Structure 1
Amino acid sequence: MTIRPRVSTMAAAALTTMLLLAPPVATAHALSGPARTSAPTATAAALELPHPTGPYAVGAEVLHLVDRSRTDPWVPAAGARELMVSLHHPARPGSTGASAPYMSTEEARLMLVQRGLEDVVPATAVSSATTHARLDARPAPGRFPLVLLSPGFGTPRATLTSLAEDLASRGYVVASVDHAYESTGTSFPGGRILTCAACDADNATPDEAAARALRKRVSTGRAADLAFVLDRLTGHRPVRDHARMIDPRRVAAVGHSIGGSAAASTMLADSRVDAGINMDGTFFEEIPATGLGGRPFMMLGTDARHRPGTTDTSWNDGWKQLDGWKRWLTVKDSGHFTFTDTPYLAEQAGLPVDPTAPLSGARSTGITRTYVAAFLDQHLKGRHQRLLDGPTPGNPEVVFNNP
């Protein structure tokens, strides 16, 4: 399976802005196989995610959820819609369980193969990246807000791990979701690896209009997925004991790329979701004239592609329809994958810096974590954040837009 993203959605990406150590990818019409790279072979030196910054220890577990009320939209023969969820949560201090794995070796291999890097970066170097959450850690006492986290199209949920861990350390339960058949490879029970049938369907679309229609299906389908996850974590018959640590009155949807579009779609479809963030994703479902019911929403993107007046007009249109508290922030020197683990891990591997997105891995991580947490603290915990009132000297890369 090979994903060859269209220029309009993932164009001009270089090593540190593509998904986990990935080189530029050509268009579907220009290649018959995955892109190759002449980058030097990466060493197998240990990679490590940045440490969480909050006061809580972090626990983690993986959930397999099956929505038997829906048939999978990409592979109907597979039957019911399946999801894999990484749940990060505040934990009691002194947890001694094993460290949560970053991703499986096969998931890492498929991700690298898709980008022609299987001979450049060892899959084991990626899969064994050190995380800071402990398996089977006892939850901290209390009930915490829930954050539903959705990754980009063709992107494993693992690449948002540093954000998930940090939010958990700050007092949030975070459910990061792999949507079946929408990632390069996702491990499911029974040794199954599901690859990106949705991406293959996208690559086969005849034109941009058809592609936009398909991506809208992705966005609205993910909204149904996230609503189901919310049901299972907080409903009358929750999976395991998660309802005891989640406050169902405080819920946010956050996503990267098409996951950011899905965050807005989730708010449109589900009134239980109180706030949302789109990290550098085109809005494939239009925000209607009625807005989001007065609920807060933040747009956080690249200055090159998502400042007012740039090519993605969905942000200009969406901004006009947002009817509650809102912010439109862009980050100078950033790339599409700035808001993921990519730059931090690529830097450790010694790969070249993309001259179009020279923001360091540390700043990429710091800005993403800080502004996402500030938004959630203000709107789910009721703590006013002066950071969101306007530009600050300590974050000169962050631009406040008010078109």
Structure 2
Amino acid sequence: MTGRSRTSRRTVLTALLAGAVSVPLLGAAPASSVPATALELPRPTGHRPVGRRTLHLVDRRRSDPWVPAARGRELMVSVFYPARSSEGRPAAYMTESEAQRLLELKGLAGVVPAATVAGTLTHARADAPPAPGRLPLVLLSPGFSVPRTTLTALAVELAARGHLVAAVDHAYESVGTEFPGGRLPPCVACDRVDVDEATVVRGRAADLSFVIDELTDRRSTGALARLIDPGRIGVAGHSIGGAAALATMAADRRVRAGVNLDGGFFVPDAGHGIGGRPFMMIGAEAVHGPGNTANDWAETYDRLHGWKRWLTVSGAGHFSFTDIPWLAEQLGLPDPQVPLSGERGWCITRDYVGAFFDLHLRGISQPLLHGPTSSHPEVGFHRP
């Protein structure tokens, strides 16, 4: 890698991680911001009711890259799946402790009550009995420093369409992830932005492969394992989680398809070893459009030799592909620097990511992925 390339890649990493630590629940915050009604994630378009279970997984074969003294690599995983019915207890968005940590970091403690964020309606039911069937598995990895809950709307949407979805929190890489016993480990990695970015990406790839091991092992997860078709597995991630999606595909042949949501790739020769499996990159036009020398999408795209798409969204920001803008607008705290509305960002994310996995894991034809459409004028296709 040349010195110029290394500098460029590190510049992108620093920008993305800084953005992740400055989650845009911002603007000129009022003294108090409490919506008249409870916060609510978008309703899924799929017809299936959705259940959610929370798992605590520990890989004792590996030491934690941030806290080597820890007893293995700990992960918290939210599993979303088609349920037998829509009855039962609503699944919480996050715990109040997790919400408080996030709000404190943003300087919004006292502006937005933690209970308001934690109580966001998710359209999923906690521990609901799963519907019978054999389902594709999709894993989701969040952006650096933010929790898996920021991808909840996408997880519920995919589950309602007929996927089993596992959203993964990586220990010591989030500002607020609650583990059993009420433990909230600090974001140790947040204080080490200058670390080799490949350490983050490869560590997450190992995490995701371990989650696949556990979810497909009936001795570990029982009924959930019986739902999964191990021949239909995909991975998607936001920001550095998107880099982890491609790295997981390179390291684990079980993963058939992947998506990067507005992330750089951060590892040398990203895209090698994919062997023709489908991959889609979708991100903000201002950062990931062709000709932007500060990102590595062009060189990575050239290494992909199977079905591939390079999509950009005009007016999008880094978090437009997550729950954050949708919720921020309900709180009256939109990001003034991002022209694309939270609602529109969600619709684009839902439609394109949903179409990708429906095509490649469920075999359902998706004309939306063929090229530009009048229904989604913000989305550009590059080098198809």
TM range (shorter): over 0.9
The equivalent residue for 1:64 is 56
Task: Summarize deviations over 1:370-400 as a string: whole Å, max 9, x none.
Answer: 1001011111112221100000110001111
Offset, 1:239: 1.8
1:5-154 to structure 2, matched below 5 A, reads 8-10=15-17, 19=23, 21-22=25-26, 39-43=30-34, 45=36, 46-93=38-85, 95-154=86-145
Give the alignment partner of residue 383 of structure 1, picking from 348, 353, 364. 364
Following superposition of structure 1 onto structure 2, how do residues 4-403 of structure 1 map, counting pairs within 5 Å?
8-10=15-17, 19=23, 21-22=25-26, 39-43=30-34, 45=36, 46-93=38-85, 95-202=86-193, 205=194, 211=195, 213=196, 215-235=197-217, 237-287=219-269, 290-354=272-336, 356-402=337-383
Counterpart secondary structure, 1:69: coil
What secondary structure, in the 3-state scheme, does the structure 1 residue paired with 2:319 have? Answer: helix
CA deviation vs aligned residue, 1:173-215 (integer Å, no higher than 9, x gap)? 000000000000110001211121011122xx3xxxxx4x1x2
Query: Cα offset for 1:136?
Result: 2.1
Contact 1:20 1:345 in 2 (8 A): no
What is the Cα deviation at residue 18 of structure 1? 5.4
Question: What is the CA–CA distance in structure 2 between the aligned matches of 1:91 and 1:124, rounded to whole Å?
Answer: 27
Number of aligned positions between the proteins: 372
Q: Which runs of 5+ in 2 are unaligned?
A: 1-11
User: Cα 1:288–1:337, aligned 2, differ >3 Å: closer, same or farther?
Assistant: closer
Q: What do the CA deviations read for 1:314-369 (whole angstroms, capped 9, x no partner)?
A: 11111111111100000111100000001111111112442x32212221111101
Normalising by structure 2, we get a TM-score of 0.92
Identity of aligned residues (%): 56
SS in 2 for 1:336: coil
- RMSD over aligned CA atoms reads 2.0
State the SS of the aligned residue for 1:313: coil
- Residues of 2 paired with 1:314 and 1:105: CA distance? 38
**What letter matches 1:393 in structure 2?**
S
C-alpha separation in 2, matches of 1:79 and 1:159: 27
Long gaps (5+) in structure 1:
24-36, 206-210
SS in 2 for 1:71: coil
- Name the SS for the 2:298 alignment partner: helix
TM-superposed deviation, 1:19: 2.7
TM-score by length of 1: 0.88
Aligned partner of 2:6 in structure 1 is: none
Query: In structure 1, how many angstroms separate the alpha carbons of the residues matched to 2:222 and 2:72?
Result: 21
- Shift of the 313–7 alpha-carbon distance from structure 1 to 2, 3 Å rule, reads closer
Q: Which secondary structure does the structure 2 equivalent of 1:350 belong to?
A: coil
**Contact persistence 1:60–1:88 (CA under 8 A):** yes
Q: Distance in 1 between matches of 2:68 and 2:260?
A: 29
CA spacing shift, 1:289–1:160, aligned 2, 3 Å: closer
Would the aligned equivalents of 1:18 and 1:342 in 2 still touch at CA under 8 Å? no
